[in-house]
Chain A
Amino acid sequence: MQHQLRIQLRSNEGAVLRTLGLIQRRGYRLESCNLAEASGDGRRMDVKVTSERSGALLKRQLERLHDVLWADLEQPAGQAGNTANIRSLLS
């Protein structure tokens, strides 16, 4: 099952690593990730993940992180090919 989430992060050191690490170790495979500056002092991360586990559960686990201001579960993604956008994460 694929899930799409939009996550608002604080600009704290390690926030991105902490968030991606949680996604990974909670049993969700990261298919793509887009990271951009957000209005105010923060960052916006859009992720697509696949897992048998529910997207709503991942949302709640993400929102438990101090660095995550909110996480929205988007409509289930379509069957289009994954567009890995890790480059924007690494730049």
Chain B
Amino acid sequence: MMASVTETTDAPANGGQTAATPVQSGSQLLIDALLRNGVRHIFGYPGGAIMPLYDALVGSGLSHFLCRHEQAAALAADGYGRVTRKAGVCIATSGPGATNLVTGIANAFMDSSPMVVITGQVPGPLQGTDAFQEVDIFGITLPVVKHSYIIREVAEIPRIVDEAFHIAESGRPGPVLIDFPKDISVAMHHGPVVTERFEFRPPVPDTGSLRAANEMLATARRPLVIAGGGIDISNSVGVFREFVQRSGLPVAATLRGLGAIPTDHPCFVGMLGMHGNAAANHAVQNCDVLMVVGARFDDRATGQLKTFAPSARVIHIDIDPAEISKLRKADVAVVGELEPALNALGHEVHPRQSWIRQCRAWVKEFAWRYDAPGQGIYAPRLLRDLSRAGEESPLIACDVGQHQMWVAQHCQFDEPSKHLSSGGLGTMGFGLPAAIGAKVARPDSNVICVTGDGSIMMNLQELATLRRYDIDVKIVLLDNSALGLVRQWQEIFFAGNYSEVDLSDNPDFGAIAQAFGIQSRCIDKPAEVDGALEWLLGTEGSALLHVKIDPMENVWPLVPPGHANHKMMKAK
């Protein structure tokens, strides 16, 4: 699948020494390689073992964003990569710097975000001796990287970095780690620089499989399409929308597939799964052909696997052959890039009009309601209004928990890359750093971080990063003084035996915002919402809107674990 071409150059890319035999340090070679691979922004934190690289960084032309925790640097690189579809880059030192990156690396791995991670490492002779700030980060991250390297020879640096970017960005993207020992970083390289260009030849969808898929679609009476995260990852949103326009088939979305078609499109039946819309779940459970595009049958989406889409034959389209029939047997497997597959499919479909009418009836019957009782602010309505404010939908990066589910249910997205959500790993603390990465990548976008009082504390220090670089991110903090989703589960499944979910001793978030030089406002009444949103979105620079909501509000519907998707619990 991977072809490479070796090239040799005598001149360093950044206009360094031009002697007949150029001499560059390992750090200079690495910087050059980053620049050659199109890197302009990196997120990181210095330390002992990575110091020579930071020395070479000065005056290199790379924009470095000093985060205040390495985990945030990795999550920012993840957000950057999701939005650009180019590898986000993060750098940390050895030992604790490297281990602090692990959650961010695993987050990128689970959601297939392109990322290149550079970690400092102790010099070769000290490795394996329990040296100061030595950890085997290569070994630690083996299960959560797409690939990884320890650089052993300075001459290898250009080829390794070129290959790392290629692996991170091609096929199903993912994080690639480069461990960079200090002795290599200061070693001098004499002579030409050998680089490689790599070409990824993706599997071409098999014509036999496409024919079988078309036959299945043509004879389906109750077909349904599931849009997954792979559509955005592969930059296939336009082609997917053409397919929907052409076929007119109803479409459900996974969390990461939201926005593949606009959420107000007549074919859209909603998000399926544990906290999905009932219309989508009923459609899935009653379809006879299920065409799954760039999704992986994650348990949050499927509910109990053996009762998922019980009447359906499955067409599974994905670039990763290892996902085919991993969890649900595919009756037709189309392995390859989504674009050629989608272009070839759905030109002849004859769904029963009664099925189309039924799907639309479910959408109408189970449309979200916003006439919530109670005196307090209803977060779903606020989020819906937030996403509709402004001429185009904002880019929303959210954290994890109840607010994350409400964002998925109630915000309107006109493209998937405007919805940054930690899906596979469900990392609290993702929101603010991811918003930072996204804003750095798309400075002209309106970027909003929706978070909770639990999640925001996990990477609160990144308010300093907003201030330091004047990064304009608006923060909507939904504060229910609780670890909300865990509290909800304890209410429902543990007989209300609440354990370690009370956050009523939260700090004064307004005072915290002020301490970081960020303006803020606090509201707790419905009548204050419109004015507060107008203030938030119209204000210059970063701002925090602290919204106090009912601690006992729950996310509905809910498919209990181990149950079929149509067995949804509803609000009483």
* Chain A contacts to B: CB under 8 angstroms: 13-14, 17-18, 21-22, 25, 54, 57, 60-61, 63-67
| A-B contacts besides A13-B150, A14-B148, A57-B325, 14 pairs, CB < 8 Å | A13-B149, A13-B152, A17-B139, A17-B142, A54-B325, A60-B321, A60-B324, A61-B322, A63-B322, A64-B172, A64-B321, A65-B147, A66-B146, A66-B167
In the complex, A17→B148 CA distance in Å? 12
User: 13 pairs across A/B with beta carbons < 8 Å?
Assistant: A13-B150, A13-B152, A14-B142, A14-B150, A17-B139, A18-B142, A22-B143, A25-B143, A57-B326, A60-B322, A60-B324, A64-B172, A66-B147
In the complex, A66→B149 CA distance in Å? 11
Interface of A is mostly: helix
A59 to chain B: closest residue by CB = B322
> Within 8 Å of chain A (Cβ to Cβ): is B138?
yes
Contact of A64 among B143, B150, B320, B325 (CB under 8 A): B320
Chain A residues closer than 8 Å to B149, beta-carbon distance: 13
Q: Are A21 and B325 in contact (CB under 8 A)?
A: no
A66 to chain B: closest residue by CB = B147
In the complex, A22→B109 CA distance in Å? 14
In the complex, A79→B326 CA distance in Å? 27
Q: Are B147 and A21 in contact (CB under 8 A)?
A: no
Chain A residues closer than 8 Å to B142, beta-carbon distance: 14, 17-18, 21
In the complex, A36→B167 CA distance in Å? 27
Chain A residues closer than 8 Å to B150, beta-carbon distance: 13-14
Task: Tell me the minimal C-beta distance from A3 to chain B in angstroms.
Answer: 15
Interface positions, chain B 313-361, Cβ under 8 Å from A, are 320-322, 324-326
Task: Tell me the minimal C-beta distance from A51 to chain B in angstroms.
Answer: 13
Contact of B147 among A60, A63, A67 (CB under 8 A): A67
Chain B residues closer than 8 Å to A57, beta-carbon distance: 322, 325-326
Chain B residues closer than 8 Å to A22, beta-carbon distance: 143
Chain A residues closer than 8 Å to B322, beta-carbon distance: 57, 60-61, 63-64
Chain A residues closer than 8 Å to B152, beta-carbon distance: 13
In the complex, A17→B149 CA distance in Å? 13
In the complex, A21→B147 CA distance in Å? 13
Task: Tell me the minimal C-beta distance from A80 to chain B in angstroms.
Answer: 30
In the complex, A22→B147 CA distance in Å? 12
Task: Tell me the minimal C-beta distance from B320 to chain A in angstroms.
Answer: 7
B174 to chain A: closest residue by CB = A64
Q: Are A14 and B138 in contact (CB under 8 A)?
A: yes
Interface positions, chain B 159-207, Cβ under 8 Å from A, are 167, 172
In the complex, A14→B321 CA distance in Å? 24
A17 to chain B: closest residue by CB = B142
Which 9 A-B residue pairings sit nearest by Cβ, starting from the closest? A60-B322, A66-B147, A61-B322, A64-B322, A60-B321, A21-B142, A18-B142, A25-B143, A66-B167
